[in-house]
Structure 1
């Protein structure tokens, strides 16, 4: 759970800075957030979470 909250905060900060620097428009930000929301409710959510956990464990073992 702590990893998920941290990744949400990290992606939120990236999105904030992209919006602030006008690299990403508000419409595209809403589309990206909607895509992430709907992707989380599909069968792809489990493999994505497993991949994220594996990458985090690999980085921490370095």
Structure 2
């Protein structure tokens, strides 16, 4: 759960930076948010969650 919240916060910060920088307009940003919201309620949501968790586990396993 902590990874999901962290990813959501990171993506929100990126979205705000793109909006403030003028690289992204409000309309497309809202469309992307709506797409993500509706995608989360489909059957592919558990697969995406598992994929993101696997990537997070792989990154966490890297020793510097």
Report if TM-score (shorter chain) is over 0.5: yes
Return structure 1 stretches of 4+ with deviation > 4 angstroms.
Answer: none
Deviation at 1:36, TM superposition (A): 0.2
Unaligned runs of 5+ residues in structure 2 are none
RMSD: 0.5
Unaligned runs of 5+ residues in structure 1 are none
Bigger relative contact order, structure 1 or 2 (CA pairs below 8 A, ≥6 apart): 2
TM-score by structure 1 length? 0.97
Deviation at 1:5, TM superposition (A): 0.8
